[in-house]
Structure formats: C-alpha cells, structure tokens
Amino acid sequence: MVVSMGIALQIITQWRRAEKEKLEAVAEKKTAELSFLKAQINPHFLFNTLNNIYSLAITQSPNTAPSIMELSNIMRYVTDDATKDFVTVDREVDCIRDYISLQSLRLGESTQVIFEVTGQTENKKIAPLILMTFIENNFKYGVSNHEKTNITIKLISDDQKIGFFCQNKIFVHHNQMETTGIGLSNTRNRLELAYPNKHSLDISNNNGLYTVHLTLQE
C-alpha cells in the first residue's frame, strides 16, 4: 500500500508539472501572438500617416510642421506605450486625436469629423491601438471629394466597460478592400487575446453606412 501511494503521488506530481508547463506554453504563445499582431498593425498605421504628411510637404502646406509634431507624438506612443499589453484610455485618446488631426488636414469642407469622448477615462486601461483599424476605415471609406458626409467617432467609458462607436457613409475604394480585411482580421484576433469572453463587436454595412459597435468589459 505504501509503495502504491508513493507511485500515485509521483504520478500526480508529474501530472501537475506537465499541466503547469502546458499552461505556461499557452501563455507564452498568446504573448507571442499578441506581439506579432501588434507589429502587423503598427507599421500599416504609420505608413498611411507618412503618406499624408508627404502630400502636405509636396504642396508646401503651412500645416506640415504641426503635422510632423503630431506624427512624432504618435510614433512615441507606438514605440513606447503600444508595446505594452494595456495603456491608459487617456493615452489612447491622445493618439486618436493626433491621428484624426492629421487626417483632417487633407479633408475638404465636404467632410465633417465628429469625435467625442464621454464618461470617466482616468485610470482606465485599454489594449493599445485596438480601435485604430476601425478609425482608419472611417477615413478610407468615408471621404468623398464630391459629396458632403460626416464621420462620427465616439468613446464612452463607465465603471464596468468601455464603449466605442463609429460610423460613416461608404464610398468604396476597391483597391483598399484587401488591406482593410487583413486589418479587421488582426483586430478580431487581438480582441480574442486581450479580451477573451469580455468583448462584443458588431460591424454592419447597412443602408450605405459603415457602423461599428464595440464593447470592452473590465
């Protein structure tokens, strides 16, 4: 009986060790996947922004210098803050404001951008750049040189959750559909990794409007 108990204890110990190693391997894999997905998104975001600043420089726009400063702020955020799993909502909002400001420089009077932040954001955390793919799509699909349109972006924060809403009329650019699909797929994967069973995402293209409702639970 003593020998049997000893063998049983040894088997249990080995099983626990194997389970622990398995869980650690899964955690390491998820960390690696999240880092990889971030690396895919960030260069794409910066590439689009650099293209906008290049256009300003070519036309010798007086807004070139301010836009370079805004890009500097974004790059600092991407290289320092966005490498973390979570950042403060305020830092994410600052990055979004700079991005919208850069995009707005190239827009004419036909496009109005509405960006609102409501609720308590102090000490709240969010996965960095998790909203940027949707906002990039607002400007890809929601801008027209011939028709008046609105781009609406809202972030609402309360004690239990963070809500995000964006909407724009769709002016389809077929050459951008492939990269948009990749960005959305990566963002969905990031949401699964960063907010497992703690998020809801609804994207619709009804009545010519691209609409996103995202909820992130604490």
Supply the pLDDT for residue 38.
58
For residues 88-105, one letter each, b for 16 or more C-beta atoms within 10 angstroms of the residue's C-beta and e for the rest, the string is bbebbbebbebbbbbbbb
Question: Each residue of 82-91: pLDDT tens digit?
Answer: 778 899 999 9
What letter represents residue 34's amino acid? L
Instruction: Give the chain's domains with CATH numbers.
Output: 2-217 (3.30.565.10)
* pTM score: 0.74
Question: Each residue of 113-147: pLDDT tens digit?
Answer: 999 999 988 889 999 888 988 998 898 888 887 88
Give the number of other Cβ atoms within 10 Å of residue 32's Cβ.
Answer: 10
CA-nearest of 150, 132, 148, 137 to 190 is 132
Do 33 and 84 touch, CB atoms closer than 8 A?
A: no
Looking at the predicted structure, is the pLDDT value of residue 99 above 80? yes
Rg of the chain, C-alpha, whole Å: 22
- Angle among Cα 26, 215, 205 to the nearest 5 degrees reads 110
Mapping DSSP to helix (H, G, I), strand (E, B) and coil, where does residue 92 land?
Answer: helix
Do 166 and 113 touch, CB atoms closer than 8 A?
A: no
What value does the mean pLDDT of the chain take?
80
For residues 163-184, one letter each, b for 16 or more C-beta atoms within 10 angstroms of the residue's C-beta and e for the rest, the string is bbbbbbbbbeeeeeeeeeeebb
